[in-house]
Amino acid sequence: MQAARLHETGAPGKLRIEDVPVPEAGDGQTVVSVRAAALNHRDVFITRGLYPKIVLPRILGSDGCGEAGGRGVIVDPTIGWGPDERVWSPDASILGMPADGTFAQNVAIPNENVHAKPEHLSDEEAAALPLAGVTAYRATFVCGGLRAGETVLITGVGGGVQTFALLYAKAIGARAVVTSSRDGKLERAKALGADVAINYATTPDWHKAVRAAVGAVDLAIDSAGGDSFAKALSVIKPGGRAVTYGGTTGDATIKMFPVFWNQLSIFGTSMGSPGDFAAMLAFVSKHFIKPVIDRVYELSEIESAMQRMDDALQFGKIVLRIPSA
């Protein structure tokens, strides 16, 4: 079968399309014939060697939609979450490293990670959903506790996960304040219902602009880390919440007094439990949510797709169409 495999780290262009053996289903596994896959920033980080426990060669890819047992399916990329809803087990992992992933015509995954594809989604839309969809669901609702009528700050709205946070917030009737590096992405966010949109690249004091526009927010969701997380904390209401699921720009230095004086709650989250994944699928189906697709590439164009993510040009999810075997 065809697959995009990484043999050495160094740059996003290091993935190579190759002929590799079709995986066999191990004990308790299903082989999914993949029709579409999607990129996540972790794929870029892995190609740069910025990820723990890299095993090579490996087929990358955490998101996928395809066919198994004669039905349309999508994959839950969290493998072995474990028994505690609050946190994954130390043995948990993410599909696509260390296990071979979805940038291939077939992928072997645990039976319990195979789910029926939501009926309202195309193959490309369904492929865009799993990793970003469940991370955003847990960040927004399970950890962030967002409710109708509340205001949420979503920093860096152009990203795969953050576009889902915006869709989810608007689906339940929350108010969304978003930031992004580009005006074009802010326009697209407004078209999806963002109530206030601020360019963090041209407005370094964007947190003051948030204050001026809405006062303070109930919840902030951030994956940029660094300065972005510190500024996000400064616009949260007393008693409000912050959720972080990433540190794209590095570590943050935060002011302690407002955190304890205003009794803020700060949650860290990663991926989602099987229960979160099932709840996310039910939510997406109930609200007819369609993932925001930035662009669809052929598997053979993986280098351009990875480059687009590395250049931060995308708004939403970058999808790969996988040729049928």
CB of 132 to ligand NAP, least distance (A): 6
CB of 252 to ligand NAP, least distance (A): 11
Strand partners for 110:
29
CB of 29 to ligand NAP, least distance (A): 23
CA 133, 61, 310, 291 torsion-angle sign: negative
Give backbone dihedrals phi and psi of 266, rounded to 5 degrees, phi first: -115, 120
CB of 303 to ligand NAP, least distance (A): 16
Q: Which is nearer to ligand NAP, 106 or 223 (CB)?
A: 223
Distance separating alpha carbons of residues 140 and 134, to the nearest angstrom: 10
Distances (CA, A) of 199 to 158, 186, 228: 11, 7, 12
The secondary structure of 57-120 as a DSSP string is SEE--SEEEEEETTEEEEE--EE---S-TTS--TT-EETTBSS--SSBSEEEEEGGGEEEPPTT
CB of 317 to ligand NAP, least distance (A): 7
Q: Which residue has the tokens 């912050």?
A: 242
Q: Which is nearer to ligand NAP, 23 or 156 (CB)?
A: 156
Distance separating alpha carbons of residues 97 and 143, to the nearest angstrom: 26
CB of 9 to ligand NAP, least distance (A): 16
Q: Which is nearer to ligand NAP, 245 or 299 (CB)?
A: 245
CB of 293 to ligand NAP, least distance (A): 12
Q: Which is nearer to ligand NAP, 1 or 132 (CB)?
A: 132
Distance separating alpha carbons of residues 227 and 249, to the nearest angstrom: 8
Distance separating alpha carbons of residues 293 and 9, to the nearest angstrom: 27
Residues that bind ligand NAP (CB under 6 A): 40-42, 45, 131-132, 135, 155-162, 180-181, 185, 200, 223-224, 228, 245-246, 248-249, 270-271, 309, 312
In single-letter form, the type of residue at position 303 comes to E
DSSP state of 143: I
Q: Which is nearer to ligand NAP, 33 or 188 (CB)?
A: 188
In single-letter form, the type of residue at position 308 comes to R
Q: Which residues contact 313 (CB under 8 A, 6 or more apart)?
A: none
Q: Which is nearer to ligand NAP, 23 or 77 (CB)?
A: 77
Q: Which is nearer to ligand NAP, 14 or 41 (CB)?
A: 41
CB of 68 to ligand NAP, least distance (A): 24
Do 155 and 228 contact (CB within 8 A), yes or no?
yes
Q: Which is nearer to ligand NAP, 2 or 93 (CB)?
A: 93
Distances (CA, A) of 242 to 155, 195, 200, 263, 275: 11, 19, 18, 11, 22
